[in-house]
Amino acid sequence: MMFDLALQGRPSWLDLSGTEARELSVARWHADAGGGDDVLLDSCTGPTLDVGCGPGRLVAALLARRVRALGVDVSPEAVRRTTERGGVAIRRDVFDLLPGEGRWQHVLLADGNIGIGGDPAALLRRVRQLLRPSGTVVVEVEPPGAGLSVGQARVRAAGTESHWFPWAWSDAESVEADGFFLLWQRERAGRWFACWEKL
């Protein structure tokens, strides 16, 4: 799968056409929650869906806080690693039918996962279907002023690379979030986050 090289713990880079290659935060993904993750975790007080959960650090941390959480990822490696650390995850595409549609209180899009599918507006439309009324989506975004970058991407690691797939990077101001109200955006530990509430 696309991010399996990084999910295996190998130093990896994401190439997005038209931009400079970016080293992925592999060590942070595999460590326990920290380094700004508290912004994400503190925002989740009820049932939470972590879309693109990776190795499951956020799912495990939420469960440790007694917050019901489910990870979703297309990678069997991600699901395996999440369950190994005590989390709960299913292998599924976010655009497929998911458990609890329309009843989740929170959806997380951490670690750049606003880029899933290469169309942040379409992804947020899908997330809106997953959320209950007044539910929130908490998103890790690019710093203010970074704009929106859309293109084909691949993951590289030590002479190995994935196939090309659609991806995007975006700051909060550039995300088309129809049917949402922007509650806040903030920086923590060099990372930027934004939270939208479903109208």
- Write the pLDDT tens digit of every residue in 89-119: 999 999 999 999 999 999 999 999 999 999 9
The beta-carbon contacts of 55-58 under 8 Å, at least 24 apart in sequence, are 55/7, 55/29, 55/30, 55/81, 55/82, 55/85, 56/81, 56/82, 56/83, 56/85, 56/87, 56/89, 57/28, 57/29, 57/30, 57/31, 57/32, 57/33, 57/85, 58/33, 58/108, 58/110
Q: Give the model's confidence band at 16: pLDDT under 50 very low, under 70 low, under 90 confident, else very high.
A: very high
As a whole number, mean pLDDT of residues 157-165 equals 91
Q: Is the pLDDT of residue 158 over 90?
A: no
Q: Give the model's confidence band at 159: pLDDT under 50 very low, under 70 low, under 90 confident, else very high.
A: confident
Contact 41, 33 (CB under 8 A): yes
As a whole number, mean pLDDT of residues 67-87 equals 97
As a whole number, mean pLDDT of residues 48-75 equals 98
* Amino acid 2: pLDDT: 79
Average pLDDT for the chain: 96
Question: What is the homologous superfamily of the domain 4-198 according to CATH?
Answer: Vaccinia Virus protein VP39 (3.40.50.150)
Q: What is the dihedral of CA 63, 155, 137, 90, to 10 degrees?
A: -40
The pLDDT > 70 percentage for the chain reads 100
* Amino acid 53: pLDDT: 98
As a whole number, mean pLDDT of residues 12-39 equals 95
